[in-house]
Each structure stands twice: as C-alpha cells, then as structure tokens.
Amino acid sequence: MIKDLFYVRDALNRGDFENAVKIAEKIKDSYWRSYAFKWIAQEIVKINSERARKIASQILISSLRNDTLLYLSYELANEEKFKEAIETAKLIEDKYSRKKALRKITNALANTLKKKNVTEVKLGELSLSEEDVELLKPLPPGIKYENGKFLIDAEIVKGVGELRNEVVEVTETKLEVKDVRESLQEDFLDLTNLSEPFKSAFLEKLGLEYLENGNLEEAESIMKKIKRGGTLPRLLFFLGRNDDVKTVVRPIDKVLLAYRIAVTYSNEEALKLILEIFRQEEKLKDVLRFLSFELLEEGKRRNNKRILELSRKLFEISAKVQASQ
C-alpha cells in the first residue's frame, strides 16, 4: 500500500492526474486510499475546483474528508474564487471546520473588497447570491451588505489602516506574565477555589508565559503543580526539563511531540517513546498510520533513509495492532 502511495505521488509530480486517480482507486485500504485522494484533490484544486471537490467527496475517512475540503476552500478563497470556496465549505460536515472555512472566506472577501478601492461592489460582480452572503455573516466592521451591494466604508477605501477587527482565529495580543499577576491581584482571584480543569488550564497558560520570557525554573515549577498538560510539558521535554512523555495528554500535543521525536531521535529511541506516548490510545493503529504517512513524506522531502525506515516500521506495527483486534 505504501508502494501505491509512492506511485500516486510520482504521478502527481509528473502532472499525470488521471493516472494518479486510477492508482488511488485501486488501493484497497480505505485509510490510505483516502490519503491518496486527499493528495490528488489538493494538487488539482487550482486547475479544476469542481473535480477536486468530487475527489474529496470520495474520501471515506470523515476527518480526512473534512480536512481536505477545508484546505480546498482556503485555496479557492486565496484565489478570490469565493463562490467555489463557499460551495466547497458547504460540503464540510464538521460544524467547527465549516465555520472555520467560512471565516477564512469572509476575511479573504473583505481584503478583496478593500483592494478594489471603491465604496460599493455589486453582488453579481463576485458571482455570489443572497444565500452566500448569509453564510458569510457577520461581515467585518467597515463592510456591510444592502440591496444587492457590498458597501465599503470610505475610510477603508482611503487606506487608513488595515481591517483590524476582521474575524480571526487567534488574538494578536500577547499577555505578559506581569499582566497575569496584576489581573489576579485586581480581581482577588483565589486559585485554591478554582475548580478543575480551569485551574490547571490557567496555570499552564501562566507556565507558558514564564517559558516565553525565559524563566525556565518558574515554568518547571508550574509543571510540577499541574502534573499533566499539553503544550507546556511538550516544550519542557525538548528543553530537557521534563523527561516523562506521559505528562503530555492533549491529543494535538501528543502528535506534535511524537513527530518531533521521530525526526530528531534515533529510530530505536523514537519507537520506544512514540509507543509510550500512545500506549493507551484507543485508535493506536490509526495514529501510527498517520505518523507513518507523515514521516514518509518527510523522509522523501529530506531524502532521509532513517526517517523512511521509521515510517516503514510504524506502518508494520500498525498492521500488527490491526491484526490483533
């Protein structure tokens, strides 16, 4: 199956999309077939978005299908193909991912309207419908929709600053450790009365602020208090201040930790640590296959035989896990 993925990638690199599809359709394992379709859809979206959507819809693994459609909608929004981006986003089943895609489209649309340097743009000029506009709401401040037109605030057209209040996924404001302490004192917040998981989440945030400011001792002290977490224990591991990978319990941080270990440690040590990280994982075979696939790409990109060998070993272990279930 991994050999088939090599063939799919090779066909894509040569621009032979039809052959790539034929090879992918013959892959028996639904997981790896889904990954092959994901590759193909991502490669052809700028050439034929409708074909890309159809291929993405063939992905049986729902999480991979949603991720692929999210990627496609992002690419189309960046290309200012807003109608096609919206149609793609509508196919995303996961509500969070669909909302994320629509936010991206809204922001891309706002930037396009701003660059046009006009105070109004007719809906038809963007090939959008009233229904599309409803999906994109709320629009960023300075842009509104009335009577079939997008109306852009004159101040934006003049170029007075960027759209600072557009819908974004993360805040641009960084919280300083000093600010955290001061806010605690001002609000008279007693951590002893704060219930879990809020207490640990707050402390980990504080530990990360200490880490960002170079105060390793305080960050390590916080880690000893919360015992388990996500980003904090993961970063402390690579700084040599936390030698227990089991303290990393947040799923995304477990994957990031395992990946970093895989590309930096020897295969023997990496296998040992990766299995320790995911030993209690219910979907162990899927996690190992995911890592195997990602390392396959990384190994090919770096032309690194060690990483390619680790990819193979992880895949073999995942197959054994599947056989034992």
Q: In this structure, what are the phi and psi dihedrals at residue 139, rounded to the nearest 5 degrees?
A: -80, 150
Separation CA 294–CA 274 (nearest Å): 14
The predicted-structure confidence for 224-243, as pLDDT tens digits, reads as follows 888 888 888 888 888 888 88
Separation CA 245–CA 258 (nearest Å): 9
Model confidence at 91, in pLDDT bands (50, 70, 90)?
Answer: very high
- Residue listed under structure tokens 């295969």: 267
Identity of residue 118: V
Model confidence at 61, in pLDDT bands (50, 70, 90)?
Answer: confident
Q: At what angle do helices 82-89 and 62-78 cross, to 10 degrees?
A: 170
Q: Is the pLDDT of residue 178 over 80?
A: no
From the list 86, 77, 70, the residue with the least C-alpha distance to 136 is 86
Separation CA 111–CA 95 (nearest Å): 24
Q: Are 151 and 120 in contact (CB under 8 A)?
A: yes
b vs e for 32-61, b when ≥16 Cβ sit within 10 Å of the residue's Cβ?
bbbbbbbbbbbbbbeeebeebbebbeebeb
Separation CA 26–CA 19 (nearest Å): 11
Instruction: Give the pLDDT of residue 156.
Output: 47
Per-residue pLDDT, averaged over 59-79, amounts to 89
Instruction: Give the pLDDT of residue 37.
Output: 92
Q: Is the pLDDT of residue 105 over 90?
A: yes
Per-residue pLDDT, averaged over 296-306, amounts to 87
Instruction: Give the pLDDT of residue 197.
Output: 67
248 in helix, strand or coil? strand
From the list 318, 293, 263, 304, the residue with the least C-alpha distance to 4 is 293
The predicted-structure confidence for 202-221, as pLDDT tens digits, reads as follows 888 888 888 777 778 888 88
Counts for the chain of helices (H) and strands (E), in that order: 17, 3
Q: Which residues contact 227 (CB under 8 A, 6 or more apart)?
A: 247
Is the bond preceding residue 138 a cis peptide, omega within 30 degrees? yes
Instruction: Give the pLDDT of residue 57.
Output: 92
b vs e for 68-102, b when ≥16 Cβ sit within 10 Å of the residue's Cβ?
bbbbbbbbbbeeebbebbbbbbbbbebeebbebbb
Q: Is the pLDDT of residue 222 over 50?
A: yes
Model confidence at 169, in pLDDT bands (50, 70, 90)?
Answer: very low
Q: Are 19 and 11 in contact (CB under 8 A)?
A: yes
Per-residue pLDDT, averaged over 153-163, amounts to 47
Identity of residue 60: L
Task: Select the more confidently predicted residue: 6 or 97.
Answer: 97
What value does the mean pLDDT of the chain take? 81
The predicted-structure confidence for 10-31, as pLDDT tens digits, reads as follows 888 888 999 999 999 998 878 7
Model confidence at 174, in pLDDT bands (50, 70, 90)?
Answer: very low
Q: What is the share, in percent, of the chain residues with pLDDT greater than 70?
A: 85
Q: Are 150 and 113 in contact (CB under 8 A)?
A: yes
Count the residues in the chain. Answer: 325
Element (H, E) at 157: helix 154-157
Model confidence at 142, in pLDDT bands (50, 70, 90)?
Answer: confident
Per-residue pLDDT, averaged over 161-181, amounts to 40
Q: Is the pLDDT of residue 167 over 70?
A: no
Identity of residue 250: R
Separation CA 184–CA 221 (nearest Å): 19
Instruction: Give the pLDDT of residue 256.
Output: 85
Per-residue pLDDT, averaged over 267-290, amounts to 86
